[in-house]
Structure 1
């Protein structure tokens, strides 16, 4: 259970999240939600995306909760793996931002290794180390970007709890989720 109000860092995926996406709606409804803006949503570059996430976490004084969708979930895995590598090179991980992360909501992780989208190749392979903070993976049974067995594989590898709400496609604007109150409940459970 968190004692201080966290900042929620919103991490959209490939091509960003438009105004009707649940991530954008959560940002509009709650000032504690802040998008980590990337320089180019259509041409993602792993090192630049990791650096922007790292700076965003470092800029926060209190606890942080990551709210990721699609490629944003893969970004979290890469960022955590890079932080773990940096921690092993420093005394007891001093100065790594992962200590600020109180949890991560990872919605519809994209199976980029099987997607066949050249713009995403720089994020391959997907890191499969356990995340150093509590996490929940939310995955649809009919996500065109990730089969249910791969979603479970990611959740297991990352040490995350898996929530399967049913058949909602890629859990994005096209899924018709609106403000997605069920997602807010999963987030509330994660943050205690």
Structure 2
């Protein structure tokens, strides 16, 4: 099983759990690379995700964070791949409620079509970029399981999660793969 991380705005820095996991398991993890991490345009981000998915050669789980989750939702609305077996969607950013709409060109409206693969939305009760209710609504719309992890902010490097063992357990449950093996 391969894992493809899909970071959000500004990508995921060295202290972010996505980056830590990529470094721990370089043979299993790769990252979607965007042309411009600081000025996301939906068509560009979705097309770059599709380009990398087109290059897959085996079963893959997508691991989105923040605007990366919304990128995955737009991708799933437009495309499909036999290789995508699931998606872990952590702290989806509510682009529709963003005060920085000019930073999220084209990401609204957020698709409400159920995904063609298993997925889990993981959200925090004190995320500044989406209320817990909106995150639960995204999960319902996308046909995803929903996990409330309590007060963990935006579930990013600022949250101090480092290796984020709880997230690994959720990913292992979703994928059916033990990362340490």
1:64 aligns with 2:47: no
- Under a length normalisation based on structure 2, what TM-score does the superposition of the two structures give? 0.94
1:166 aligns with 2:162: no
Give 1:116 deviation, angstroms: 1.3
1:126 aligns with 2:104: no
Aligned length in residues: 174
Give 1:109 deviation, angstroms: 0.2
Partners of 1:112 and 1:121 within 8 A in 2: no
C-alpha RMSD of matched pairs (Å): 0.8
The structure 2 residue matched to 1:113, chosen from 96, 102, 112, is 96
Deviations 1:109-165 (A, max 9, x none): 000110111111421110010011000000001100000110010000000000111
The list of structure 1 runs, each at least 4 consecutive aligned residues, that deviate by more than 4 angstroms after superposition, is none
Look up the match of 2:18: 23
Partners of 1:134 and 1:190 within 8 A in 2: yes
Larger Rg: 1
Partners of 2:113 and 2:141 within 8 A in 1: yes
Look up the match of 1:137: 121
Which has the larger helix fraction? 1
User: Partner of 1:113: helix, strand, or coil?
Assistant: helix
User: Partner of 2:124: helix, strand, or coil?
Assistant: coil
**C-alpha distance in structure 2 between counterparts of 1:119 and 1:36, whole Å:** 19
User: Partner of 2:86: helix, strand, or coil?
Assistant: strand
1:42 aligns with 2:26: no
What 5-or-longer segments of structure 2 have no aligned partner?
177-181
What 5-or-longer segments of structure 1 have no aligned partner?
1-5, 84-95
User: Partner of 2:87: helix, strand, or coil?
Assistant: strand
